[in-house]
Amino acid sequence: ELGVIMPNHTTNFVTIETNTNAHEEIQALEELKNDLRIKEDMFDFNGIIPMPEEIKKGATLGHDFETGEKKEHKDYALDGGVYKPKNPITRKYLMMEYGADNWYDFACLHWGTKWNAYEFELIQDEEHVFFVSFLSAWDSPRGIAEKLNSYCDQHNLVLDWTAEHEFEDDIEQIA
């Protein structure tokens, strides 16, 4: 039996702050914190690029490592290591709409990494700034960084995103 292959971890450091402390900037920063679920101790990629429910459902199926039970769903089948909708029309629709018909492909395509953020740490949280760190698998979620950069530009917020990749010495400026 094959064991679970662990990815290389990337440590991400993200700071977002207001530029002039204007009310609109503070409000935009607060909305962003809510979307990312910062107060719930996470940096949820779904707040920036939401994974559609039909695709997310497949991620909840399979072997539950904690309980040992196998979770199945009548409308989903294991295909190439991931659960996908059984209905070919549904799969075709998902491919056309999102470019993916399963959680793994969606995450890689849109987020730039296979899992959501993990080992989240809230380092600073104030009205005008927040600073967090979290791990991501393989690389920084570049799709998320790109969208976040656009949001910050649009709302006059300052984004600083750096990353340390496992087994590499230098720090990369992501955004």
Say whether 146 sits in a helix, a strand or coil. Answer: helix
Contact present, 139 and 7 (Cβ < 8 Å):
no
Query: How far apart (Å, rounded) are the C-alpha atoms in residues 8 and 41?
Result: 23
Dist. CA 25–CA 30, nearest whole Å: 9
**pLDDT reading at 77 higher than 80:** yes
Q: Answer whether residue 5 shows pLDDT above 60.
A: no
**Strand, helix or coil for residue 162:** strand
Q: Is the pLDDT of residue 65 over 70?
A: no
Q: Are 103 and 111 in contact (CB under 8 A)?
A: no
Residue 61's pLDDT is 85
Average pLDDT for residues 42-54, to the nearest whole number? 96
Assign residue 84 a region (left: φ > 0; alpha: ψ between -120 and 50; beta: otherwise).
Answer: beta
Q: What is the pLDDT of residue 1?
A: 45
Residue 83 makes CB contacts below 8 A (sequence gap 6+) with 57, 58, 59, 61, 62, 73, 76, 77, 102, 103
Find the mean pLDDT for residues 31-49. 96
Positions of E strands within the chain: 9-18, 62-63, 70-71, 76-79, 82-85, 118-126, 129-137, 157-165, 171-173
Phi-psi category of residue 112: left, alpha or beta, with phi > 0 → left and psi -120 to 50 → alpha: left
Calculate mean pLDDT across residues 144-173: 94
**105 three-state secondary structure:** helix
Q: Tell me if 85 sits within 8 A of 105, measured CB to CB.
A: no
| Full-model pTM | 0.88
